[in-house]
A and B are shown apart, each in its own frame.
Chain A
Amino acid sequence: KAGVTQTPRYLIKTRGQQVTLSCSPISGHRSVSWYQQTPGQGLQFLFEYFSETQRNKGNFPGRFSGRQFSNSRSEMNVSTLELGDSALYLCASSFGQGVSGELFFGEGSRLTVL
């Protein structure tokens, strides 16, 4: 069965622009989580969606937003990009609401902000 698919894999933006990243979870999985990975901070939790509802949110500014569609696909958006937003953005899916802790990760979208 297909894994978690993230698009685009790589993108370059300039400060002030906005970006939308997409995530297609494993078929049948209803929970999607997003993480930001940077060398200095490691993995930081952004948000989790379950059945189109945001269940948890990390400590990120309002410029970071997300949503989940009825087919469980998810998007995250970052507006007014800053240099510090350069990172690998990882999406992960799970069947339930993450209670088991077993997440299936995509390969990530690497964002570079110039």
Chain B
Amino acid sequence: GDSVTQMEGPVTLSEEAFLTINCTYTATGYPSLFWYVQYPGEGLQLLLKATKADDKGSNKGFEATYRKETTSFHLEKGSVQVSDSAVYFCALIPYSGNTPLVFGKGTRLSVIA
């Protein structure tokens, strides 16, 4: 079945460091891909998405490119802030759309000043 694999955390970075969180997927057809973020004590919220190959999603300085050839959707940010500390989830929804979101296990990011 469809699945998402994320790099294990936790990831600890200093403020202003470059961030990459790896995400690869297994799916038939052309899924839509998402990154969700969960700040401490809160529910998840959509960070960015891409619906077709080579699309780049971006929001709040984060970006991710849908790479079909490598079945990847890595999350990047050029300069992280303490406020970016959160758990990041990669997710997909199959092309058919009539099935629920499939989430990765999440990667916890801690940014220290």
User: Contact residues of A with B, CB < 8 Å?
Assistant: 4, 33, 35, 41-43, 45, 48, 55-56, 58, 90, 92, 97-108
Contact, CB under 8 Å: A103 / B101: yes
Q: In angstroms, how far is the closest chain B Cβ from the Cβ of A78?
A: 19
CB distance from A99 to the nearest CB of B (A): 4
Q: Is B46 an interface residue (CB 8 A)?
A: yes
Given contacts A105-B44, A107-B43, contact A98 B104 (CB under 8 A): no
12 new A-B contacts, CB < 8 A, other than A42-B89, A43-B105, A98-B97, are A42-B105, A43-B103, A45-B102, A56-B98, A58-B100, A90-B43, A92-B43, A98-B100, A101-B91, A102-B49, A104-B45, A106-B43
Task: Determine the chain B residues whose CB is within 8 A of the CB of A102 once the complex forms.
Answer: 34, 46, 49
Known contacts A43-B103, A102-B49, A97 near B43 by CB under 8 Å: no
**Choice from B34, B42, B100 contacting A56 with Cβ under 8 Å:** B100
Any A CB within 8 A of the CB of B83:
no
B56 CB to closest chain A CB, in angstroms? 17
Q: Which residues of B contact A100 (CB under 8 A)?
A: 32, 97
The chain A residue with its CB closest to the CB of B89 is A43
Considering only CB atoms, which chain B residue lies closest to A102 in the complex?
Answer: B46
Across the interface, name the chain B residue whose C-beta is closest to A99: B97
Q: Is the CB of A105 within 8 A of B43?
A: yes
Please give the number of chain B residues whose Cβ is less than 8 angstroms from any Cβ of chain A in the complex: 23
CB-based contact B100/A45 at 8 Å: yes
Q: Which single residue of chain B is at the shortest CB-CB distance from A34?
A: B100
CB–CB A42/B104 < 8 A: yes
User: Cβ of A106: which chain B residues have Cβ within 8 Å of it?
Assistant: 43
A111 CB to nearest B CB, Å: 15
Considering the chains assembled together, what is the distance between the CA atoms of A104 and B42 in angstroms? 12
Partner of B100, one of A4, A41, A48, A90: A48
Q: Are B91 and A4 in contact (CB under 8 A)?
A: no
Q: What B residues does A103 contact at CB under 8 A?
A: 44, 46, 101
A42 touches B98 (CB 8 A): no
Query: In the complex, which residues of chain A have a beta carbon less than 8 angstroms from the beta carbon of B41?
Result: 107
Please give, as numbers and ranges, the residues of chain B lying within 8 Å of A45 by CB-CB distance.
Answer: 100-102
